[in-house]
Amino acid sequence: MNRDKNLPLTETVYYILLSLLEPAHGYMIMQKVEEVSDGQVRLAAGTLYGAIENLLKLKYIQPVSTRDKRRKVYQITSKGREILQMDLQRMEHMVNVTKQALSKT
Amino acid sequence: MKRFKLFRSYQAEEKWLSEQAETGWRLVKKGLFYTFRKHSPQRLVYSVDYRTFKTRADYNSYLSLFSDAGWTHTAGSIRSGEQYFTAPPQQGEELSIFSDKESSHSRYTKKAWHSLLKALLIFVFMILSSMSNSLYDISILVQPSRAFLTPGIWEKTGGAFWQAFFFELPFASLRIGLYVLLIGYVLLFAFYAAWALICEKLDKGIDNKQLH
């Protein structure tokens, strides 16, 4: 089976998609990503903005309308959920085979 | 204070701007020139982004993200491309608006493509507007006097010459100016494209070194 050409997701993209399961604006994404990655992934504003633009182009996320006129709020799309799920399965497989291999030796 | 300066890289530009701030000059505007205003000497980190926006709402949202993250937007506009941000330095941490190399390097790629696009637009405009006559004869570059199309203008003398000269000056300047712009954008494209390629090579080089 041919794998989606956007897989594997980068750590940055993975965490952004994960944090957009609920709607959030840019700065909230930065905070969420830092929190769920235990402070391992700290996104800078310019890098995040570029990633958001990319994900919008790929239709993995979409803007949602809110009352805040100065901050765009985004949310994951069904296509985005799908790719997140696929990357999760990919990593689960890696984790499983690695655990098995390590326990045998 | 106004200054004109070209830099070999965004990094060099950021460093220079920080040095200016430390001597008490703070960037307030960037067009063709850097405009500085006198201010108390201060240590500031400068970070330059390259981005253009389709709508005002996109631009506002972009600026809000940076200000939420602690950056002050000091120069740049919706269509300027370069966006200048400052922040007070943090101890033991190198501040940047980029947290990975790829996004930092993508500035050069974007700038290169935009320059090429502008050069092409000017080129197409020049071709289209000179379909029926040679308004943009390439020899203008070697002999700017050819930008004046009034027959026999250079043989005229006195009042008649100056009248014809000043009448046509704006058009002649436009013809020369477009050539200068065209060449400028082509040079910018070449410069930034070269940087983009170097960055790509550097990235790969570093990655390879880490692997071995």
| One-letter identity of residue A46 | G
Task: Please list every residue in chain A whose beta carbon sits closer than 8 Å to the beta carbon of residue B68.
Answer: 26-27, 71
What is the tens place of the pLDDT at every residue in A68-100? Answer: 888 999 999 999 999 999 999 999 999 999 999
When computed from its CA atoms, the radius of gyration of chain A, rounded to whole angstroms, is 16
pLDDT greater than 70 at residue B211 = no
Q: Do B61 and A26 touch (CB under 8 A)?
A: yes
What is the tens place of the pLDDT at every residue in B80-114? Answer: 999 999 999 988 788 999 998 889 999 999 999 99
pLDDT given at position B164: 86
CA pair distance B110, B52, nearest whole angstrom: 10
User: Contact at 8 Å (CB) between B107 and B48?
Assistant: yes
Q: Strand B81-87's sheet: what is its strand order?
A: B45-51, B81-87, B72-75
Helix (H) or strand (E) holding B82: strand B81-87
Q: Which of B14, B195, B207, B8 is nearest to B107 (CA)?
A: B195
Q: Do A45 and B57 touch (CB under 8 A)?
A: no
Q: What percent of chain A has pLDDT over 70?
A: 99
ipTM above 0.95, yes or no: no
Task: Please list every residue in chain B whose beta carbon sits closer than 8 Å to the beta carbon of residue A30.
Answer: 69
User: Contact at 8 Å (CB) between B81 and B114?
Assistant: yes
Q: Do B103 and A51 touch (CB under 8 A)?
A: yes
Residue A12, min C-alpha distance to chain B (Å): 10
User: Contact at 8 Å (CB) between B7 and B18?
Assistant: no
Closest-CA residue of chain B to A68 = B61
What is the tens place of the pLDDT at every residue in A14-25? Answer: 999 999 999 999
Closest-CA residue of chain B to A30 = B69
Query: Which of residues B90 and B134 earns the better pLDDT score?
Result: B90
CA pair distance B180, B183, nearest whole angstrom: 5
Single pTM value for the model: 0.83
pLDDT given at position B212: 45
Residue A3, min C-alpha distance to chain B (Å): 24
Q: What percent of chain B has pLDDT over 90?
A: 49
